[in-house]
Amino acid sequence: MIILASSSPRRKELLLFLTNDFKVYPSEVKEIIKPGLTIEEVPGYLARLKALDVAKEFPNNLVLGADTIVSIDNEILGKPKDRQDAYNMLRKLSGKTHIVVTGFCLTKENKTKTYTNVSEVTFSELSDEDINNYLDTGEYIGKAGSYAIQGKSAVFISNIKGDFFAVMGLPLSQLHQALKEFE
């Protein structure tokens, strides 16, 4: 059985593509970014913290931790604090390409391995009306970068180079291969 160290409904939904044999047990670890990490290293680092935290409770199970960040111009766009913060993020993403980095970590007994996936997402130009109509849906709440690729903001995305599922929160193909290393 896999223990998913995440409360993300999207990760749970995605993991169901690979197995029904899992349990959700969210990590309570504080997501503090260690100084000196590159943007590409941050999600893997946080995923590892989460996996190792939950593994203490489930020492004989395979634990999966994951984290996703959105970044543009070397700035990490986290989850918005409020509507204005979300507006500012979407304005920064408008008409530009940004990266989405998803890291995941698998750990069982004495084996721990971290994986990273980087995708590029390009937004079309967004008008104030586009942004405000989207913000009115409330979908941005709790979403890194203030959007969900699988949701109503999909209409903003003019191009994606990489793994759609990684942008959603869990790179399924990469995870499928990684799970074989832990059989």
**What is the overall mean pLDDT for the chain?**
96
- Domain segments of the chain as ranges: 2-180
Q: Which residues are catalytic?
A: 67
Query: pLDDT tens digit string along 103-114?
Result: 999 999 989 999
- Integer distance in angstroms from the first to the last C-alpha of the chain? 11
Phi and psi for 70 in degrees, rounded to 5? -115, 135
In this model, does residue 183 exceed pLDDT 90? no
pLDDT of residue 33: 87
| pLDDT tens digits, one per residue of 42-69 | 999 999 999 999 999 999 999 999 999 9
Name the token pair of 38. Answer: 């590159």
Give me the residue label for tokens 């489930």. Answer: 58
pLDDT confidence tier of residue 34, bands split at 50, 70 and 90: confident
Q: Per-residue pLDDT tens for 142-182?
A: 999 999 999 999 999 999 999 999 999 999 999 999 999 99
Q: Architecture of 2-180 per CATH? A: Alpha-Beta Complex (3.90)
- Please provide residue 138's backbone torsions phi and psi, each rounded to the nearest 5 degrees: 80, 0
